[in-house]
Amino acid sequence: MLKCVLLDANVIIEAHKIGVWEKLVERVEIVVSSIVAHKESLFYSELEGGIPEPINLKRLIQDGKIKEISASSEEMADFSNYFDRVFLFGLDDGEIESLSLIKSGKLKDTLFCSSDALQSKHLL
């Protein structure tokens, strides 16, 4: 089975919005960092009144449908020291943790996916 780490909640929210999230969970071994799972995935929709059940990462992890993995503070520091602050400025905590896991080698044979794009305001 294809294994993919999702770098942040944006990918999950967008996959849910376009109607492919549940099929993705069925067909791909999804891995998310602990920060994405417990902090960044707290998607709130006024229309839906909270986290839509299909993207409730805590429940999906409990049910064994997706995997959660954590980076140590040393792994995150190593990653942060490897890149300059201009690059790091555009990343949120979940992306830093996810990329730290990739750099550490904990996520071998794993693809990664992000939906972010550099915003021009970050260049000023």
Task: Tell me whether residue 121 is in a domain.
Answer: no
Q: Is the pTM of this model over 0.75?
A: yes
Q: What is the rounded CA–CA span in Å between residue 106 and residue 114?
A: 18
Q: What is the pLDDT of residue 122?
A: 40
Length of the chain: 124
Domain that holds residue 18: 3-111
Q: What is the pLDDT of residue 108?
A: 81
Task: Tell me whether residue 119 is in a domain.
Answer: no
Task: Tell me whether residue 19 is in a domain.
Answer: yes
- Strands (DSSP E) contained in 41-85 are 67-69
Task: Tell me whether residue 107 is in a domain.
Answer: yes
Q: What is the pLDDT of residue 73?
A: 92
Q: What is the rounded CA–CA span in Å between residue 119 and residue 123?
A: 8
- Tally of domains within the chain: 1
Is a pLDDT exceeding 90 seen at residue 120? no
Q: List, for residues 29-66, the tens digit of each pLDDT value.
A: 999 999 988 886 665 555 656 677 778 888 999 999 99
Task: Tell me whether residue 24 is in a domain.
Answer: yes
